[in-house]
Amino acid sequence: MHIPDAFMPIPQGIIYWAIALVFIALSLRWVRQEMDETKVPLVAILAAGIFVIQAFNLPVALGTSGHLVGGALAAIVLGSPFAAVFILSLVLIVQGVIFGDGGITTMGVNILNMGVIGGFVGYYSYHGLLAATRRVNLSAFAAGWLACVIPALAAVVELWIAGTFPLNLGLVAMGLYHALIGIIEGGITVVALRLIASVRPDIVNISNEVTA
């Protein structure tokens, strides 16, 4: 889902950068206010894990592969969508500048899609579903799936505005492929959430959430 420079005119990229910078500033305020020293190791490991697992493409059928994006996972584990914005921004900057994965002028739109939209959709859908169903696995899976599919559909609209994708075909293709890739996203979100909650229950306490 990393949009390259070639897919978007520079002025449009600058507009998305401006929007992304607002959310990056808010995520840094989250770091200052909410990220105490006990959370730093977990944030570091989440960032490293999301960075590397984004390089691990798994086949999903229809001649396509996909990987975890991680916005929902970061937001759920750390209890804020701004945590996802913070982590995904750093991951996307390193990927774009050093490894050429995603563009420079399009880094803002990539942060907006995967960090902001992915993080907010993941966080609020998880807590909404958890309140309704009281089932952690179902809520985390659905949140991961939605945090993959909705940013993908947002990317289509942005690339339609950019004149790169036709809207209808883009929505059908991106929607179809990311509905499949979202199964990976949902599955890894559940497994990683369970794993992290088992090793750091002081930070991620699933049982409290279910019984609250």
Partner 1 sequence: MDSRRLVAAGIVLAILIAIGAVYLASPAPDGLESTALVVQGDKTLTGDTPPDAEVREDVAGRFTFESLLPDYSLGDAWGKPGEILALSGGILLMVLLIYGISRLMARPAK
Binders of partner 1 in range 59-78 (CB under 8 A): 59, 62-67
Q: Are 35 and 20 a contacting pair, CB within 8 Å?
A: no
Indicate whether 137 belongs to the interface with partner 1 (CB under 8 A). Answer: no
**Residue 194 lies near partner 1 (rule: CB under 8 A):** no
> What is the token pair recorded at 162?
């950019």
Nearer to partner 1 by C-beta: 21 or 132? 21
Q: Which of 7, 17, 123, 126 binds partner 1 (CB under 8 A)?
A: 7
Q: HSE on the CB side for 103, CA within 13 Å?
A: 17
Instruction: Give which of 123, 117, 126 is closest to 81, Cα–Cα.
Output: 123
Residues 82-111 that bind partner 1 (CB under 8 A): 90-91, 94-101, 103-105
Q: How far is the CB of 137 from partner 1 (least distance, A)?
A: 21
Name 143's Cβ contacts closer than 8 Å, sequence gap at least 6. 72, 76, 121, 122, 123, 125, 126, 129, 186, 189
Q: Considering the rule CB under 8 A, would residue 112 count as an interface residue with partner 1?
A: no
Candidate residues 24, 43, 112, 147; the one interacting with partner 1 per rule CB under 8 A: 43
Site string for partner 1, 162-191 (x = CB under 8 A): --xxx--xx-xxx-xxx--x----------
d(CA 49, CA 61): 25
